[in-house]
Structure 1
Amino acid sequence: MLDEAALKDLILEHTRRVNAGDVEGLLKLYSPDVRFEDPVGAGVQQGHAALRAHATGAVNSNTVEVPGPPVAAQDGRHAAVPVVATMDYLPLGPILTRHGVLPAPAEPSRQRMEFRFLMVVRAGDDGLIEDMKAYWGASDVRLADAA
């Protein structure tokens, strides 16, 4: 089990490594058998290969995550953090447009998106993240200024 400070640092380290574009470093925070769902309701994915593909998509979209204050549970395993993330509309934005989440932007190649979500993680006895869930819905996504 981790103490509260270590849990908070672990969840914030996730955002730091995404912002640094460090996919391999990000994977080192996670158990090889990690289960994750981003967003919750889209289906659970499992393992480093799936997480690598997911994280690479975020990094290649120039994702910037700005975390709020993290919260750690008293069980020594769970932590949560609110995050505001911005990323390029391309290549993932058209999927959201097809599903009616976002309108089609006038200049897709110059457009950014903003996501407001809550990330919840569960760490194992080894201090690695075993489970990650990102909670966000259609009302939590918008087109953002390209600047």
Structure 2
Amino acid sequence: MLDEAALKELILEHTRRVNAGDVEGLLKLYSPEVRFEDPVGAGAQQGHEALRAHATGAVTSNAVELAGRPVAAQDGLHAAVPVTATMDYLPLGPVLTRYGVLPTPADPSGQRMQFQFLMVIRAGADGLIEDMRAYWGTSDVALVDAAQGGAHA
């Protein structure tokens, strides 16, 4: 069981490693048998290879995650944090457009996607993340102009 400070640090370290483009470092925070769902409702995935593919897509899209204030549960297992993430529309945005989440931008290369989501994790006794869920819906995603501050930091 982790104390509240350690749980908060763990969930924030996830965002730091995404921002650094450190996929292998990110995987070190997770159990090899991790179960994750991003977004919740899209279907769960499991294991490091699935998480590597998911994280590589975000890093390739120049993802930047700005974490809010994390909270930790008293059970020593769970933590949550609100996150605002931006990433290039290409290459992943057309999938969201195909599903009606986003409109087709006039200039796909000049657009980024912005997501408002809540990330919830459950850590195991070894301090590794065993479960991660990202809660966001269609109304939580928007296109932003890369030239107006939506670009990768």
Same fold (TM over 0.5): yes
What is the root-mean-square deviation of aligned Cα atoms in Å? 0.4
Whether 1:137 aligns to 2:137 is yes
Q: Quick one: which amino acid aligns to residue 5 of structure 2? A: A
Q: Once the 2 structures are TM-superposed, how far is the Cα of residue 31 of structure 1 from its aligned partner? A: 0.1
Deviations 1:26-66 (A, max 9, x none): 00000000000000000000000000000000000000000
The aligned counterpart of 1:57 is: 57
Structure 1 stretches (4+) deviating beyond 4 angstroms? Answer: none
Deviation string, structure 1 residues 83-138 (Cα, Å, up to 9, x no partner)? 00000000111111111111110110121010000000000000000000000000
Residue 13 of structure 1 aligns to a residue whose secondary structure is helix
1:16 aligns with 2:13: no
Letter in 2 for 1:69: R
Structure 2 length normalisation: TM-score? 0.95
**Is 1:82 paired with 2:71?**
no
Counterpart CA distance in 2 for 1:112 and 1:132 is 24
Q: In the alignment, what sits opposite 2:99?
A: 99
Cα distance, 1:144 vs. partner?
Answer: 0.8
Shift of 1:8: 0.1
- Give unpaired runs (5+ residues) of structure 1: none
Number of the residue aligned with 1:27: 27
Question: 1:127 matched to which residue of 2?
Answer: 127
Q: In structure 2, what is the Cα distance between the partners aligned to 1:16 and 1:80?
A: 15
How many aligned positions are there? Answer: 147
Q: Normalization by structure 1: what TM-score?
A: 0.99
| Equivalent residue letter for 1:40 | V
How many Å separate the matches in 2 of 1:11 and 1:66?
Answer: 12
Identity of aligned residues (%): 84
